[in-house]
Amino acid sequence: MPTHKRLKRLLDIAETQRDQAAHTLSTRMKQQVEAQKQLEKLKNYTKEYRANHETSSIATSVQSFINHRQFIEKLSDAQIQQAHKIKLIQREMAPHLNHWIKAKNRCDAINKSIQKSQQEAQEKEEQNQQLDLDAYAARAMLANNKA
């Protein structure tokens, strides 16, 4: 009789743990979906940001080119093209470097969170399967004890 009560208690514990694991898995899946939505929003924001700032970067570069015309007239064509590319890159990237670094760090953090959620979900699934097997074994033992 004590074995029967202990097995029943173990079965109740296993079912409770399985329910908790299922709830945790559900929560993690919701978090993963939300993280993917955030990542998509960030990607869209980045595209819009690039599109908006490309035109202003071109205008700034043209103005810079006009201001430095005397210096540029002394350079060869190849040097002019190279200097122009360097100026474009410097003016375009310098003011926004911190923004891009922060955006990349946010993307990396979101990707890491997604990977962690997927790994935890897989571990919870494996744990649920093991709990189901344990519960099945406990039921079988109860059935054998009754018989």
Predicted local confidence at residue 115, as pLDDT: 92
pLDDT at 2 > cutoff 70: no
- Between CA 75 and CA 59 the distance in angstroms is 22
Look at residue 53 in the predicted model and tell me its pLDDT: 66
pLDDT of 1 > 70? The answer is no
Nearest to 64 by CA among 95, 86, 96: 86
User: Which domain range does residue 114 map to?
Assistant: 2-146
Q: How far apart are CA 17 and CA 133, in angstroms?
A: 13
* Overall number of domains in the chain: 1
pLDDT tens-place string over residues 27-75? 888 888 888 888 888 888 777 777 666 666 676 777 776 776 656 566 6
Residue 147 has pLDDT above 60, yes or no: yes
Residues 99-131: pLDDT tens digits? 777 888 888 898 898 899 899 989 999 998 998
Nearest residue to 93 via CA among 63, 57, 46: 57
Question: At residue 138, does pLDDT exceed 80?
Answer: yes
d(CA 105, CA 33): 19
Of residues 4 and 34, which shows the higher confidence score? 34
